[in-house]
Amino acid sequence: MTKGQIILGIVLFALVTAVLYVWGLRKSMEQGAEMTRILLSRCGSKVVKYLKKHDAVTEAEIARLIDGVTAGEFWSRKKLTVQDPKKFVGQVTAFLLDQQYIEPAGPKSYRLKK
């Protein structure tokens, strides 16, 4: 091996190390937002699944459905869990309304959008 090959190997190793470090740092910075998105999606899918069998759902029923739902990324041990569903209902309904899965059916009542 020549000195040029050794220097090239060291530079390439440093470059790959820097790229992996930046990728991991970015993933850890965005982990909270990503886990919140996953939790909203899981809660929303429970509500939509419930609405496929029932005509409408109230906010109290949504709170009962999403109580204890857990979300996390497969490579991380960190998990998010719905511990106070009454506070999280507003975020779930706003998410489902934004995604146009549900529509209002009355005061604090929602139905599946057709």
Residue 30 has pLDDT above 90, yes or no: no
User: Using one digit for the tens of pLDDT, what is the confidence trace for 39-94?
Assistant: 999 999 999 999 999 999 999 999 999 999 999 888 778 888 898 999 999 999 99
Q: Determine the Cα–Cα distance for residues 95 and 48; give it in Å rounded to an integer.
A: 12
Q: Determine the Cα–Cα distance for residues 16 and 25; give it in Å rounded to an integer.
A: 14
Is 90 exposed, middle or buried, given 0-12, 13-18 or 19+ CB atoms closer than 10 A?
Answer: exposed
User: Using one digit for the tens of pLDDT, what is the confidence trace for 16-28?
Assistant: 999 999 998 998 8
By three-state DSSP, how is residue 112 classified? strand
Domains in the chain and their CATH numbers? 31-112 (1.10.10)
| pLDDT at site 106 | 84
Say if pTM beats, i.e. exceeds, 0.85: no
